[in-house]
Amino acid sequence: MDRRKFIKNVATASAATFVLPRFSIAQTKSPNSKLNVAFVGVGGVGGMAINGMSSENAVAFCDVDDNRFWYDWKKWPKAKRFHDYREMLDKMGKDIDAVCVSTPDHSHFKITIDAMQCGKHVCVQKPLVHNIWQCRELERARKYYKVQTQMMNQGHATEGIRLLKEWYDTGIAGAVREVHVMCGGPNWWNGNPKMTRYFCKPFNGLPLQKQPVPKNLKWDLWLNQGKYSDYNEVLAPLSWRGFWDYGTGMLGDWFCHTGDAPVWALDLKGDCTVELLEADCSYDQKVFIPNSSTVKWSFPKTDKREAVDMYWYDGAKQPITTPKDLDKGAQTMRSGMYMIGDKHTLQHGARPDSPRFTNTEFFNEFKRSGKAKDRKIPRVRNGSLYCEWIDAIKGDGPEAGSNFSYASQITEVALLGALAQRFGGKLEWDSKNMIVKNRPELAPFIKEPVRAGWESKDVPTPSFWERLFG
């Protein structure tokens, strides 16, 4: 497509910030009206997005890989098909209300910000983005462009995470000073083609050897803003997750699930220290994720909670502390979360599901009490992030809970942990200035360089009148 034309169109849309999209909480609509939705990335989790938005109109599908167009086209006979999302926005911008982004981590930001600057509501898969500067920029974009946003960490819309926060808010667990977040993966691909390849170790070591680009794949479009690399089958379509240049490892893949409840309940954000306590690496640590690791964040005390140490374990690592009130004979979870209070311990499974107190006798007693039945947090229709986002766009509900403000918060915590995994040692994070105080050499990884031709238009700084009238 004509890149200059696309940039011009984006600039025009950005200048017209106060022109509302077709669906807006400030506009009157028919109760039976449907969103016109475009999907960028349609294989794998992209299929989840298509199914989750099945109540609306699918008007466009975009993917860089022809083999990812897996679905029955008879369901959407009028939907257009694209390889380049920029061409899709350029040609169909007036017909699109909302965009679902389900692409590799390194391409989330560019696609998302371009869609927002064209006035589109956006949902994007977790993690929100690939670096911390991108987190902050999308948080600013949410406020400036006044569109409805959502990161698709499914558990944030569920009953389980609401119960856990409500129980914590009662104060019955006491002061929480220690959190343990476990994830059993990564599950390495062993050469069996029937297995998913989310995490695949380089077959012939590093560096990866150049291979011919398959005819079905648009490699330059796949690379997006990411660092240039010759094509190798171990990167695409799925196993990019293990390479730091494109993925964010197990932390990016799962922390937005297993770490969601403690980040939300304890409001973990801002200045902190992050330390890699342990890592088993088969390849260059700065290039490829570890086989297993233990990471520690230390957050200082605030006026609402005590200082908190939070631990992350992957590769089947187990918590270094066993909750003192764990049932006698019970084993610690392989995948899940413990919030250890000075009175009782809260836990849940791999996602914020099956919330409970670790001691069964106390939990049964608590369920019989009135406090267990007190519901203070609004519930989400069908417990679905997609329903929540649709309702926010149509004005049938409040802003989605995992909007880009909260999504930026939890993704930043995850990305700090990923930086510790990648570069080792301890990181002293200065949140206000967005720097690692003791490791200035990490600056290029806080705001990563962008490939030529894939630059993004900055989010404007609001004027005095924009700030005044919002």
Amino acid identity of residue 407, one-letter, is A
In this predicted structure, what is the pLDDT of residue 68?
84
Contact between 270 and 294 under an 8 Å Cβ cutoff? The reply is no
Strand partners, 293: 279, 314
Indicate if the alpha-carbon torsion angle 55, 56, 60, 62 is positive or negative: negative
Share of the chain above pLDDT 90, in %: 76
In this predicted structure, what is the pLDDT of residue 29?
52
Burial of 269 (0-12, 13-18, 19+ CB in 10 A): middle
pLDDT tens track for 88-130: 999 999 999 999 999 999 999 999 999 999 999 999 999 999 9
- pTM equals 0.92
Contact between 282 and 303 under an 8 Å Cβ cutoff? The reply is no
Domains held by the chain: number: 1
Any domain includes 230: no
In this predicted structure, what is the pLDDT of residue 16?
39
Contact between 342 and 325 under an 8 Å Cβ cutoff? The reply is no
Whole-number Å distance between alpha carbons of 39 and 235: 22
In this predicted structure, what is the pLDDT of residue 69?
80
Any domain includes 460: yes
Q: How confident is the model at residue 334 (pLDDT cuts 50, 70, 90)?
A: confident
Cβ density class 195-205: b for 16+ within 10 Å, e for less: eebbbbbbeee
Provide the total of helices (H) and of strands (E) in the chain, helices listed first. 14, 15
Any domain includes 254: no
Any domain includes 398: yes
Closest-CA residue to 416 (of 435, 440, 389): 435
Q: How confident is the model at residue 172 (pLDDT cuts 50, 70, 90)?
A: very high
Neighbours of 209 (CB within 10 A): 13
**Does residue 441 carry a pLDDT above 80?**
yes
Q: How confident is the model at residue 373 (pLDDT cuts 50, 70, 90)?
A: confident
372: which 2 tokens?
């267990």
In this structure, are strands 308-314 and 292-299 parallel, antiparallel, or unpaired?
Answer: antiparallel
Place of tokens 């003192």: 324
Q: Is 116 helix (H, G, I), strand (E, B) or coil?
A: helix
Strands ordered across the beta sheet of 121-125: 80-82, 57-62, 36-40, 98-101, 121-125, 149-152
Any domain includes 451: yes
Top-confidence residue, 16 or 338: 338
Task: Give φ, ψ of 313 to 5 degrees.
Answer: -130, 130
Any domain includes 41: yes
Q: Is the peptide bond before 352 cis (omega within 30 degrees of 0)?
A: no
Whole-number Å distance between alpha carbons of 397 and 404: 17
Strand partners, 429: 272, 436
pLDDT tens track for 188-211: 876 665 566 788 888 788 999 999
- Domain with 146 in it: 3-155+385-404+441-469
Any domain includes 103: yes
Place of tokens 């700030």: 467
Q: Is 60 helix (H, G, I), strand (E, B) or coil?
A: strand
In this predicted structure, what is the pLDDT of residue 371?
77
Closest-CA residue to 105 (of 130, 123, 132): 130
H-run or E-run covering 3: helix 3-15
Closest-CA residue to 21 (of 117, 152, 162, 163): 117
Q: How confident is the model at residue 321 (pLDDT cuts 50, 70, 90)?
A: confident
- For the chain, the average pLDDT equals 90
**Does residue 153 carry a pLDDT above 60?**
yes
Any domain includes 426: no
**Does residue 247 carry a pLDDT above 90?**
yes
Place of tokens 């009662």: 170
Average pLDDT over residues 404-417: 98
Q: What is the DSSP letter of 52?
A: H
**Does residue 406 carry a pLDDT above 80?**
yes
pLDDT tens track for 132-142: 999 999 999 99
**Does residue 372 carry a pLDDT above 90?**
no
Whole-number Å distance between alpha carbons of 150 and 334: 29
407: which 2 tokens?
């999504």
Closest-CA residue to 251 (of 105, 385, 41): 105
CATH number at residue 389: 3.40.50.720
In this predicted structure, what is the pLDDT of residue 332?
87
In this predicted structure, what is the pLDDT of residue 329?
85
Using left for φ > 0, alpha for ψ between -120 and 50, and beta otherwise, residue 41 falls in left
In this predicted structure, what is the pLDDT of residue 461?
84
Share of the chain above pLDDT 70, in %: 89
Place of tokens 């939907």: 79
**Does residue 468 carry a pLDDT above 80?**
no
Give the contacts of 294 (CB within 8 A, at least 6 positions apart): 276, 277, 278, 279, 311, 312, 313, 317, 320
353: which 2 tokens?
């599901």
